Structures are given as C-alpha cells and as structure tokens.
Amino acid sequence: MREEMILRKMRSADPEGLEQLMERYIPYVSAVVWNILRYSMTPQDAEEVVSDVFLAAWNQAAEIQSGSAKAWLGAVARNKARTKLRQAGQTLPLEEDVLEIPDEATPDARVEQAEEQKLVRKAVDQLGQPDREVFLRHYYYAQTVQEISQAMALNESTVKTKLRRGRMRLKTILLRWGVA
C-alpha cells in the first residue's frame, strides 16, 4: 500500500492505516530508538518508546506529509528516545551530544559551532546515494556495519569502503572550506 493511502486511512481513523505504517516503518523506528537507548535502557523501554512514536503518528496523522512519513517518524523517534533518557536522569550517548550545542557555551562559541555544523551537514549532503545513507546510518544513527549491511543489502566490506571513502571525501571538502 502506498504511503499516501496509508496516511489517508489514518486521517479517517481507520486502524488499518496505522497497521500498514507500522508494518512498513517499525524496523526503521526501532533502529533509531535502540541506537539511542541501547546502552542506557532495557529493550522493554525501547519498545515503549517505539509504541509512543506510532501513537504520536496516529494522533498527529494530519501533520504528516505524504512522502515524508519516514523522516517524520525518525525525528519523533529521536526526540522521544532523548526524552526517555532525560526522564531517567541519564545523558545522551556521545554521538547525540556532538550534534547539540551545550548551554554553557558562550554566544560566540555557539555561533561558530552552529556554522561548523551547517558546513558539515552541507558536506555530507554532497555525498551521493547510497554513500550518504551509509554515512548517516553509521555516524548519526550509530548503526553498526553489520546492521547497515543487512538493512541496505550490501556486503560488509562495501559498507566499510563507503565509510572510509566518505570520511576521506568529507575531509577534502572541509579542508577546502577551511573547517578541518
């Protein structure tokens, strides 16, 4: 079933729409949540967060644009997983902390860090597909080489090569821009 039809069913309160959305995206949402919570929470906590994500999708179906359900679910999953960690009094894993600007930074440092983050994102965007997806899965979603290999139907050696080449390409781009 196409995403547009799934969302239409959800908007009309048809539970089949939610079932189809879950069938399509539960592995992705679970990976996002588990990659944030895996060292800090139990699998049951992660399952609870995944359920909360799909409950939010059901309750806010009107806000989800056709063609962007995966991105919407990923953003909600990251936010709900981070909230779960904060509620438990735990900190975010290192990968997530790097992406956020600390509150105690000076205004100048915040501006500089924000600019660097924009440039890094712009550089990552210059990686072609599937290289960009491999890179983001590994460094942003903290997926292992094996997880990426299985999810994208690539050999593990191919994933490692794409990561190495991606790092070299990013270094070249960032050096050219004067960031690294």
> Tens of pLDDT along 19-59?
999 999 999 999 888 888 876 778 888 899 999 999 999 99
Question: So what's the pLDDT on residue 95?
Answer: 43
Topology, domain 3-94: Rna Polymerase Sigma Factor; Chain: A (1.10.1740)
Residue ranges of the chain assigned to CATH 1.10.10.10 = 101-177
**Residue of 98 and 89 predicted with greater confidence:** 89
pTM exceeds cut of 0.75: no
On the CB side of 146, how many CA atoms lie within 13 Å of its CA? 0
pLDDT digits (tens, 9 = 90+) for 135-149: 888 877 777 888 888
Using pLDDT thresholds of 50, 70 and 90, give the confidence band for residue 151. Answer: confident
State how far Cα 57 lies from the chain centre. Answer: 16
Average pLDDT over the chain, rounded to whole? Answer: 82
- Summarised one tens digit per residue, pLDDT across range 51-85 is 999 999 999 999 998 888 998 998 899 889 888 87
Which segments of the chain belong to CATH 1.10.1740.10?
Answer: 3-94
- Round to whole Å and give the CA distance between 93 and 75: 17
Provide the 8-state DSSP code for 129.
Answer: T
**Residues 155, 151, 172: CA angle, nearest 5 degrees:** 65
Q: Cα separation of 108 and 101, whole Å?
A: 12
* Highest mean pLDDT (candidates 98-107, 114-123, 167-176): 167-176
Q: Give the rounded percent of residues in the chain with a pLDDT score beyond 90.
A: 31
CATH of span 101-177: 1.10.10.10
| Whole-angstrom distance, CA of residue 4 vs CA of residue 9 | 9
